[in-house]
Structure 1
Amino acid sequence: MSISAINARNKIKGIIRNIQLGDVVSEVELETAAGMVTSVITTSSLRLMDLQIGAEAIAVVKATEVLLVKS
């Protein structure tokens, strides 16, 4: 599936501001117009996509995996 086939409501464009590199999984912080979005991805995927601080990226949200918690 290409990125263009994904519903626009599920895509958030931003700039990578921080990467917490781990042995197996890594955290990527994306600064968007709506605020910061953090994604946990495998470190092998991070390397495969060659994600770097300052690069543009798109966060794709799967609605079935988003949780809301009342504060």
Structure 2
Amino acid sequence: MRLSTRNQLDGTVLSVTRGEAMAVVRVELPGGSEITSSITRDAADDLGLATGSPVRVLIKSTEVALGVED
């Protein structure tokens, strides 16, 4: 699979919490950091996401927000 997205992180699914329309997917990255993604429930089902599934996290740089302490 070739993608234009440059921010790609391999990880392992820690959990998938399915709601009526959305699913929250927690992913462990190498080194122990975690990242969470909200996707449609249909997408989670279509991808067959389950605990232990290997995944690639794609981060669109225009959708990242940063904050700092005052």
The sequence identity of aligned pairs, in percent, is: 25
CA distance in 2, matches of 1:60, 1:20: 19
Question: What RMSD, in angstroms, separates the aligned Cα atoms of the two structures?
Answer: 1.4
| Partner of residue 33, structure 1 | 30
Q: Read off the aligned partner of 1:30 and give its amino acid letter.
A: V
What is the SS of the residue equivalent to 1:23?
A: coil
| Partner of residue 57, structure 1 | 55
| Partner of residue 14, structure 1 | 11
Higher helix share: 1
Gaps of 5+ in 2: none
What is the SS of the residue equivalent to 2:2?
A: helix
Normalised TM-score (structure 1): 0.86
Normalised TM-score (structure 2): 0.87
Gaps of 5+ in 1: none
CA distance in 1, matches of 2:36, 2:4: 20
Aligned residues: 68
What is the SS of the residue equivalent to 1:51?
A: coil
